[in-house]
């Protein structure tokens, strides 16, 4: 439900932006003004979300991924971290989509390791890697920002969130830093017409960027709230009011059976292909894409029946999510990394990548885990550190228990 909350907040801010006229893509704004029967769209989405909420009550995912009252010692930790950082830096010169997936997997391996050890510098490591991704891939701000999500999951699964002043201040700082970084990466991509700049130059230009005329429309575009609002509602609107012959009837899901099929003419259209061609054929012809989110995909396939199909799909995803959490708590490093990769790519799927890309990403991740993460993990030896009490205080040297490091 965390991802649905992210989508919901994006849609809420997007609605405010559209109602204010703060929209960069004027053709979308014109289409928004021309929408009719919008009440039925909201009724359909509200019913689907209500059923999803009922499903979420049945899916208990209260699993402690990283025990909060356990500290770990690890031998050869620095070589492991150094090798991964070196690969992350060097791989920036290889411009292939699958390399980007491998980079994500290696970054998650690094995060899982430092959180498993409950390192005091774990959030510093996260910040450095996110900045590295932001500097190397300014066109893909999602890939950098979304790396923070599994870290939050590992951090807060080990203890209940207490709304103390310190927690509130840290949360505000983290949110502000993410927004600041998104704005800086957008400047690098050309927003604000500042010309070619580096990441650090862009960070210096952010205050002027957010105070410039039209900054609300640019920020709404940077945060993708306008995009999320439009494509989700447009997909549902088209599915409800269009001819039933235009519905996909599950073909975008069946496409997952054709992953690796070389003859593209024999594969069903993906949700990205199908929806983008319907909305903007010219944009799709040059390789553009508009993923309508997993919610929009359900309605794009089944129309009004998506009200009932969406909770069913959510139930299946929640069950798989719970299995990955349980597997994470019991596995060695390589198994933990694959579980975290699955959770990370589930977020991308719900955002609208399509089930076929979700499976393809997982297959690449499995290869990277088997070929790189597992061999690297064999150099590590984890030991439970019993020299600290449950309150974190030192209580003298005691026996340390060695843990497994394999899958």
Q: How far apart are CA 137 and CA 96, in angstroms?
A: 12
Nearest in space to 70 (alpha carbons), one of 392, 394, 396: 392
In a domain, 279, yes or no: yes
Confidence category of residue 203, pLDDT binned at 50, 70, 90: confident
Q: Tell which of 293, 308, 330 closes a domain.
A: 330
Q: What is the pTM of this model?
A: 0.80
Outline where DSSP puts E strands in 54-147. 71-75
209: tokens are 């960027």
Reply yes or no on whether the pLDDT at 33 is more than 50: yes
In a domain, 35, yes or no: yes
Nearest in space to 129 (alpha carbons), one of 121, 294, 173: 121
| Whether 135 and 148 share a structural domain | yes
Say how many C-beta atoms besides its own lie within 10 A of residue 403's C-beta: 15
| Whether 34 and 86 share a structural domain | no
| Whether 341 and 323 share a structural domain | no
DSSP code of residue 273: H
Q: What per-residue confidence (pLDDT) applies to 57? A: 66
Confidence category of residue 150, pLDDT binned at 50, 70, 90: confident
In a domain, 113, yes or no: yes
| Domain membership of residue 139 as a residue range | 65-160+331-407
Confidence category of residue 406, pLDDT binned at 50, 70, 90: very low
Strand-pairing partners, residue 382, are: 74, 403
In a domain, 179, yes or no: no
Q: What per-residue confidence (pLDDT) applies to 387? A: 47
Classify residue 287 by burial, with Cβ atoms within 10 Å: 0-12, 13-18, 19+: exposed
| Whether 245 and 299 share a structural domain | yes
Q: How far apart are CA 384 and CA 291, in angstroms?
A: 45
Q: What separation in angstroms does the CA of 287 have from each of 166, 369, 406?
A: 46, 30, 41
27: tokens are 């053709």
Q: Tell which of 330, 349, 379 closes a domain.
A: 330
Task: Tell me the three state secondary structure of residue 60.
Answer: coil
Q: What are the percentages of helix, strand and coil residues in the chain, rounded to 5? A: 70, 5, 25
Q: How far apart are CA 113 and CA 93, in angstroms?
A: 25
| Whether 344 and 367 share a structural domain | yes
In a domain, 21, yes or no: yes
C-beta of residue 228 within 8 angstroms of C-beta of residue 9: no
Classify residue 73 by burial, with Cβ atoms within 10 Å: 0-12, 13-18, 19+: middle
| Whether 284 and 340 share a structural domain | no
Reply yes or no on whether the pLDDT at 11 is more than 70: yes
| Whether 349 and 364 share a structural domain | yes
C-beta of residue 341 within 8 angstroms of C-beta of residue 362: yes
In a domain, 185, yes or no: no
| Whether 35 and 113 share a structural domain | no
Confidence category of residue 395, pLDDT binned at 50, 70, 90: very low
| Whether 73 and 155 share a structural domain | yes
Q: What per-residue confidence (pLDDT) applies to 60? A: 55
C-beta of residue 10 within 8 angstroms of C-beta of residue 233: no
Q: How far apart are CA 27 and CA 150, in angstroms?
A: 36
Cα dihedral 324, 327, 329, 333 sign = negative
Confidence category of residue 367, pLDDT binned at 50, 70, 90: very high
Q: How far apart are CA 244 and CA 249, in angstroms?
A: 9
| Whether 325 and 344 share a structural domain | no
Q: How far apart are CA 132 and CA 137, in angstroms?
A: 8
Q: What separation in angstroms does the CA of 17 have from each of 142, 223, 343?
A: 20, 11, 30
In a domain, 180, yes or no: no
Q: How far apart are CA 195 and CA 92, in angstroms?
A: 22
In a domain, 43, yes or no: yes
Q: Tell which of 288, 305, 330 closes a domain.
A: 330
Q: What per-residue confidence (pLDDT) applies to 207? A: 87
Looking at the 3D structure of the chain, how many domains does it have? 2
Query: How many angstroms separate the first and last alpha carbons of the chain?
Result: 28
| Whether 252 and 342 share a structural domain | no
Confidence category of residue 108, pLDDT binned at 50, 70, 90: very high
DSSP code of residue 398: -
| Whether 254 and 302 share a structural domain | yes
C-beta of residue 396 within 8 angstroms of C-beta of residue 387: yes
């Amino acid at each position: 439900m965390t991802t649905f909350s992210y989508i919901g907040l994006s849609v809420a801010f997007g609605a405010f932006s559209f109602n204010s006229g703060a929209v960069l893509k004027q053709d979308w704004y014109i289409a928004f003004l021309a929408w009719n029967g919008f009440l039925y769209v909201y009724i359909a989405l509200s019913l689907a979300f209500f059923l999803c909420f009922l499903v979420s009550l049945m899916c208990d995912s209260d699993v402690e991924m990283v025990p909060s009252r356990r500290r770990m010692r690890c031998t050869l930790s620095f070589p492991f971290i150094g090798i991964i950082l070196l690969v992350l830096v060097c791989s920036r010169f290889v411009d292939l989509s699958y390399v980007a997936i491998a980079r994500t997997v290696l970054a998650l391996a690094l995060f899982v390791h430092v959180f498993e050890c409950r390192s005091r510098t774990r959030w510093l490591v996260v910040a450095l890697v996110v900045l590295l991704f932001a500097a190397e891939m300014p066109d893909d701000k999602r890939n950098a920002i979304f790396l923070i999500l599994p870290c939050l999951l590992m951090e807060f699964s080990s203890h209940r969130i207490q709304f103390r002043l310190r927690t509130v201040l840290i949360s505000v700082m983290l949110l502000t830093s993410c927004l600041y970084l998104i704005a800086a990466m957008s400047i690098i991509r050309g927003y604000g017409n500042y010309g070619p700049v580096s990441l650090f130059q862009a960070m210096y230009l952010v205050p002027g960027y957010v105070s410039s005329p039209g900054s609300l429309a640019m920020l709404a575009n940077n945060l993708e709230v306008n995009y999320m609002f439009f494509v989700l509602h447009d997909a549902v609107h088209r599915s409800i009011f269009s001819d039933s012959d235009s519905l996909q009837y599950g073909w975008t899901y069946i496409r997952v059976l054709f992953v690796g099929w070389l003859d593209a003419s024999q594969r069903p259209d993906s949700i990205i292909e199908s929806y983008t061609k319907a909305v903007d054929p010219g944009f799709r012809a040059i390789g553009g894409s508009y993923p309508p989110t997993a919610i929009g995909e359900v309605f794009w396939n089944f129309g009004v029946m998506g009200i009932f199909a969406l909770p069913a799909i959510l139930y299946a995803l929640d069950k798989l999510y719970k299995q990955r959490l349980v597997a994470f708590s019991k596995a060695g490093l390589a198994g933990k990394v694959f579980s975290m990769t699955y959770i990370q790519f589930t977020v991308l799927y719900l955002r609208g990548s399509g089930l076929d890309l979700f499976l393809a990403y997982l297959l690449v991740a499995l290869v990277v885990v088997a070929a790189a993460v597992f061999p690297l993990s064999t150099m590590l030896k984890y030991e439970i550190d019993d020299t600290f009490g449950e309150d974190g205080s030192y209580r003298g040297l005691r026996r340390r228990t060695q843990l497994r490091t394999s899958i």
